[in-house]
Amino acid sequence: METGISLVEVIRVVQSTQPPLFQSLAVPLARSSLELAEIDLALVLDDPRLLFQAFKKAILIPEAQGPEFAICQILVERDGVEFVTPKAYIYLLNLLGDFATLGSVGAEWEQRNDVLQKRMKPSSKTPDRPYKLFSS
Amino acid sequence: MAALLERVTIGGSESAQDTSALSTPNLKARDGAMNGPESQEKAYDPSMLFLLEMATCLAIRDATSMRDLSPEVSGYCTEILRQRKHLHPLFVERTLIYLLALKKRGHETVI
């Protein structure tokens, strides 16, 4: 059922607030985003830049770290995920890098490019080699 | 439901006679920065929170109530978030939770 509630608008509201209200809103946002991602990832990846920016801003809040990382985990590990567009891929790697820097997760998470690249939409992948201009 | 939601106003009991002002939150809280020490001065009325929570619970109860009630409740929640600068942070936080709960239940509900 379409509710007409825009997650992008909600994220914008949260992004526009300053601490300490931001801390109060970022945690429920992260938790609810995870719940929505578990239903359908497309619901949270409408605007990946905005979502990951909010996550990055809230990464130092311990209560927000769990759900944020769980969304990353869904994107990296769940089979059949087809929403890792090149745009989302950059933001996801960036966030995982932040987690690794914080020491919240092992550094190997930062090295998941191989897994993520397989999840990217084939049409958006850079060709392995340049096109042949002249056939020999 | 509309009557219930119309009670979600700051200082609702004080302005109960003034029915013209019920549909939008009564912005009695001080203007100024939302965050920081100023937020401590904003009035906190638990009855508003209770009414909004009850409205949300009624809306997400089943598919029929979702169809009939959720647009109205989500409209109120969105309006509260827009007027966050004038409202208590706890109320804003709970409103965000209710709005996203409505969204989640909406996507779980098949009519």
Q: Are A36 and B104 in contact (CB under 8 A)?
A: yes
In a domain, B80, yes or no: yes
pLDDT in tens, B38-51: 555 677 888 989 99
User: Averaged over A18-30, what is the pLDDT?
Assistant: 92
Number of domains making up chain B? 1
- Looking at the predicted structure, is the pLDDT value of residue A136 above 60? no
**CA B72, CA B74: separation in Å to the nearest integer?**
6
In a domain, B69, yes or no: yes
Give me the residue from A10, A13, A17 closest to B35, CB to CB.
A17
pLDDT in tens, A69-126: 889 888 877 765 566 777 788 888 888 888 877 765 655 555 555 555 555 555 554 4
Q: Which domain holds residue B54?
A: 46-111
A8 CB within 8 Å of a chain B CB: no
A 26-65: CB under 8 A from B: 28-29, 32, 35-36, 39-40, 43
Burial grade of B82 (CB within 10 A; 0-12, 13-18, 19 or more): exposed
